[in-house]
Structure 1
Amino acid sequence: MAAFNLTLSESSMFILAGIPGLEAAHVWISIPFSIFYIIGLLANFTVLFIVGKEQTLQKPMYLLLCMLALTDIISSTSFVPKALCIFWFNMKSITVKGCLTQIFFFYALSTIHSAVLVTMAFDRYVAICSPLRYATILTNARIAKLGLVSFIRAVLFILPLPLLLSRQPFCANRIIPHTYCDHIAVAKMSCGDITASRVYGLVMAFVIIGFDLLLIGLSYGLIIRAILRISSKEAHQKALNTCTAHICALLMIYPVGLFSSLTHRFGQGIAPHVHIILSNLSYLLPPMLNPIIYGIKTKELRDNVLKYICRMYSPRAVDFKPA
């Protein structure tokens, strides 16, 4: 603990540079940032509100949507307000403790988000392949236990990232070319040997994402096998519609996230601002688009959202019931 405190006292502040090379456009860049963030907050809080108010929606599928919405809200809030402070007020300083805390929450929430997507893939598998046993296999209590396991996994796997960095001596030049405390960007500020930190971060990224993608691929392999056994085209279409929103969520998070992570480590030929914009988009777009896609593709959720909107604007017309 003494070594930890000594390291922090030697360099108590970092400077977040924002997007190097595009400083003159920071105010303009902040416009889509703030729009995406506000829409994401409104959409995700709407999902939480609707599911919380409607007893009929308090089922495993919608509890998973609430978990996804909650992780999206917290993960985007962990970096967007600070990024906007950089863009608008040039408030670039952040304490080392604050930076390490941001790293933990940011990556832990990403890990939980990935685990929720795996659970949703399993949910779709059970709904399509064993619909008669759905209510007994996936109960609300079981979903809560899976959520707890996801949280414990995230803490155990991600906590070593800031702990390894906390033991590093940081150089006099503590300018981080990013809008948030990215793990590898902070590691590069160290004057010591960061091999363990770099290797652990890379291995964990591949282990967590690789394992989760393997489970998702297995679920969808079984789903496709079950669909191919069905002769009815209408049943094919219904099964595919059941998975559409989840597939869209997967395509938004994994390809861009993996590309951003790999280019940040190995893409020396790519301009720094491209790295930073890509990494920001990979964490900004899913929180905004996930609830919108699920709201459009999920009839029960869509109908309840429309019901509350109608009540908001014409309460008498909605509450009126003919004799």
Structure 2
Amino acid sequence: MASEFMQEAGRKAIADGPKAMRKFIEVDQHNIRMDDYRIAILRLLPDAGPGLKEGINKVLTHGNTIEKLRQFYDVTQHELRLDDNNKVEISRLIAGGGTGVKEAGKKALDGTAADRAEFLKTGRHRAQAQDDLVELARIDEGWDGPILSEAISKLMDGSPTPSALRHFLEVTQYELRDQDNRVAIAQIIDGAGPELLKAGRAALAGTPADRTEFLKTGLQEARAKDQAAKDKDKPAPEKDGKDGDTKGNATGGTTNTTGNTAVTAQGNNGAPLATTGAGDHTTLIAGGAGTALIAGAGLLLAARMRRAGAEG
């Protein structure tokens, strides 16, 4: 287990006789061992993080006993390396997290190594759950589809775990948005013109992205084609042969015929919603969960109270 330098010094002591061997055992071996630890510790520098580098400099400056050097090499260096890794991971979470994660993460970075370890073990999940509650409230307030909104209410009423909240936001909500969009498209194409009917059926048979695109742009494009076909088949207005005015227009103005119109209500992703032109039925658009985290779970209650007041 000895270094080459230790082995060489030991062999030389043996060759030099009893006095040299006694000096080697009582003095030289300890000095050599300390030098070996210092060399081994120096070799940790190239891939060391900030905390470990600081610890290396400190122990090389003040580590004047074999016990201190051995403790650092065998134990402390691993603790410092882990804490450096924890700092990097916490910084990554802060960069991509919501308000709760950012605040808790910054507090952990300013704390002790134990604080950082605890944050990564449990604190991050509690903070993320608070952010998820805010995000669910935002979605519930901005989405008009009944399927997703009812699922959010059911989730919140069941005291969900942090993992359940994460799964809902990352997976379930998109499935339910698509279900709401399917219902909306089916209502839109009921009794629609040929182009709108064709485009709507294609969207229903396609992917969730196809349905999103139909509600964003395809709906208006298909409706415009149907309207253009109607305008083309409509007979030209008769002239009275006198002053070129359209018959029946006593004021001398022109007849104005409009097709279906689009409303400018916004979905939760900022895309415009549209009407079918029959009964002014507002469609839904599937969007991302977003990251606008601005309050607590009380937003969900406020959204429900506003909705209940509007229905009343």
Same fold (TM over 0.5): no
TM-score normalised over the length of structure 1: 0.21
Instruction: Kindly name which structure, 1 or 2, has the bigger radius of gyration based on alpha carbons.
Output: 2
TM-score normalised over the length of structure 2: 0.22
Of Structure 1 and Structure 2, which has the larger fraction of its residues in helix?
A: 1
Q: Higher RCO, 1 or 2 (CA under 8 Å, sep at least 6)? A: 1
